Amino acid sequence: MSDNHENIENKTMKINVNRRNFIRTSSALLALPWLESLAGASEASPAKRLVCLNADFGFHGPAFFPEQGGRDYETSEYLKIIDELRDDFTVFSGISHPDIGGDHHSGLSFLSAAKGVKRAGYRNTVSMDYLASKHVGTATRFPLLAMKTVEGGFSMSITPSGAPVRTHSRPSQLYAAMFLAGNPKQGEAEIQRLRNGQRILDRMGDRLKSLQRRLGPNDQRQLSDYTDAVREMEKQLHANEEWAKRPKPVVDEPRMGDNPDPLDLVGRTRTMFQLIRLALQTDSTRVCSLVIRGCEGKPTYLPVGQGHHGLTHHGQNPTKIKELKVIEKAKMMEFKTFLTALKDTREGGSSLLHNTQVLLGSNLGNASGHTTTNLPILLAGGGWKHGQHIAGNVKDNTPLCNLFVSMMQRFGMEVEQFGSSTRTMTGLV
């Protein structure tokens, strides 16, 4: 290792250093989570984060929305899956962007609320996540991580000029950006080590042990949780590499670690959730957006007989609705695993979920009819007092941007109005 790398390593091991700590080998680096022992005076508490998730094929409303409002609502079929986290989320009904239209194209305006998606002269406007990333500025390596589970489709992250932000759909590229260092030749060597099953953590064992001896009990636990998450991510990438060697549908040749099956809706979502957790935990970013794309064909590994898109157009056919619920329940299970992982990740005296607002929703209220009203919206984490169903008028909807303003203010932004907002979100404590 060069003298320069040794100097970096020595600085990493000092106690009074800033949040962007890392341990480095010649071609890999390990960014560290927020640790009290390593936090400077200006970083006495963990940062605030924001995650926006859009399931672009929507959710079947009768299975998503509770029938009663308030805190004593009887849980719905889908929310029953995450009911053990009931005090960590709030569900909304009667909420949407006014005058959006545009059926599936409405996803373009999900985070911006720009009206008339399919009208002549439509021009998008800046999205909430983009403004949040500008608030973060250069405090993180990636001000905004815009992602989607499958290539193609739309980006919901929009610049002030109305242009879409580039979105990432290949986990290997994101993993490399977060953990691989050095020149291209060194990076390729690191990828080859991963292919051979050689973990970054194994080669950093002595450095991690040295660091751990300097930490208090809480920080030791957080570091252990983090390294477990890195190991799981590497296992997933290695498994994806193995799948790439098997017969697969005709698609573009996947890069190392990328899931080769575009119809594996659940597997692709799971991998992206793992990456988001690592990116937040290491403060590689504080703002993430993910489009959980539906698929035209029959989702892999799920017991359904028809294509996902066709099932959303069920026309109240009970057989189709039953199969649609299989897909959407699988997505909710992955969401539960994601929230649970954030809640189990400790940060100082709280959790990563407590410090992260997670918005789950869809640009479609009723995918069967392509309607864009009464959207399925859920907000988890972020330090809000959750555990309720804020029930709005399902015919005269509350602007979704009211919730966006509340979220941006919670994120630390001085915002009074955004898009079609009329105030902050009533009832959100």
The pLDDT, as a whole number, for residue 85 is: 98
pLDDT score of 334: 98
Per-residue pLDDT, averaged over 294-313, amounts to 93
SS3 for 251?
A: coil
Q: Which two tokens stand for residue 59?
A: 């959710």
How far apart, in whole angstroms, are the C-alpha atoms of residue 167 and residue 132?
16
Residue 386 CA to residue 357 CA, distance in Å, equals 12
What is the structure's pLDDT at 224? 77
pLDDT for res 101: 86
Instruction: Reply yes or no on whether the pLDDT at 100 is more than 50.
Output: yes
pLDDT, position 83:
97
What pLDDT, on the 0 to 100 scale, is given for residue 209? Answer: 75
Q: H-helix or E-strand containing 212?
A: helix 205-212
CA pair distance 265, 294, nearest whole angstrom: 7
| pLDDT tens-place string over residues 27-46 | 556 667 767 666 654 566 78
pLDDT by residue (tens digit) across 314-324?
Answer: 999 999 999 99
Note whether residue 429 is domain-resident.
no
Whether the CB-CB separation of 132 and 149 falls below 8 Å is answered with no
pLDDT bracket for residue 13 (50, 70, 90): very low
Domain-embedded: residue 192: yes
Top pLDDT among 359 and 161 is at 359
pLDDT at 179: 66
Is residue 218 pLDDT above 50, yes or no?
yes
Q: What confidence category does residue 138 fall into, taking pLDDT thresholds of 50, 70 and 90?
A: confident
pLDDT digits (tens, 9 = 90+) for 331-382: 999 999 999 999 999 887 899 999 999 999 999 999 989 999 999 999 999 9
Q: Which residue has the higher pLDDT, 15 or 333?
A: 333
Domain membership of residue 63 (yes or no) is: yes
Count of the separate structural domains present in the chain? 1
DSSP per residue over 150-177, as a string?
SSSS----B-TTSPBPP-B--HHHHHHH
Asked whether residue 272 carries a pLDDT value surpassing 80, the answer given is yes
* Overall pTM > 0.95: no
In a domain, 29, yes or no: yes
pLDDT confidence bin for 386, thresholds 50/70/90:
very high
SS3 391: strand
Phi, psi of 167, deg, nearest 5: -110, 150
The pLDDT, as a whole number, for residue 180 is 61
Q: What is the mean pLDDT of residues 275-282?
A: 90
- Decide if 374 contacts 398 (C-beta within 8 A): no
Structure tokens at 308: 């996902």
Mean pLDDT is lowest, of 13-22, 90-99, 126-135, 367-376, for: 13-22
Residues with Cβ within 8 Å of 174's Cβ and at least 6 positions away in sequence, in order, are: 145, 147, 168, 275, 279
Q: Is residue 162 part of a domain?
A: yes
φ, ψ of residue 159 to 5 degrees: the values are -80, 170
198 part of a folded domain: yes
pLDDT at 17: 36
Predicted confidence at residue 208, as pLDDT, reads 76
30 vs 278: CA distance, rounded Å: 11
Answer with the residue of higher pLDDT: 402 or 38. Answer: 402
Rounded Cα gap, residues 285 and 133, in angstroms: 9
| d(C-alpha 407, C-alpha 404), whole Å | 5
Q: What is the mean pLDDT of the chain?
A: 83
Specify if 375 maps to a domain.
yes
Q: How far apart are CA 104 and CA 54, in angstroms?
A: 12
- The domain in which residue 185 lies consists of 3-410
Average pLDDT score over residue span 81-110: 95
Q: d(Cα 11, Cα 1) in Å, to the nearest integer? A: 15
Predicted pLDDT of residue 187? 54
**Residue 226 per-residue DSSP state:** H
419 belongs to a structural domain: no
Report the candidate in 415, 363, 405, 411 with the shortest Cα–Cα distance to residue 133: 411
Q: For 138-147, give one letter per residue: b (16+ CB within 10 A) or e.
A: eebebbbbbb
Nearest Cα neighbor of 75 from 316, 336, 291, 253 is 336
Highest mean pLDDT among 50-54, 114-118, 211-215: 50-54
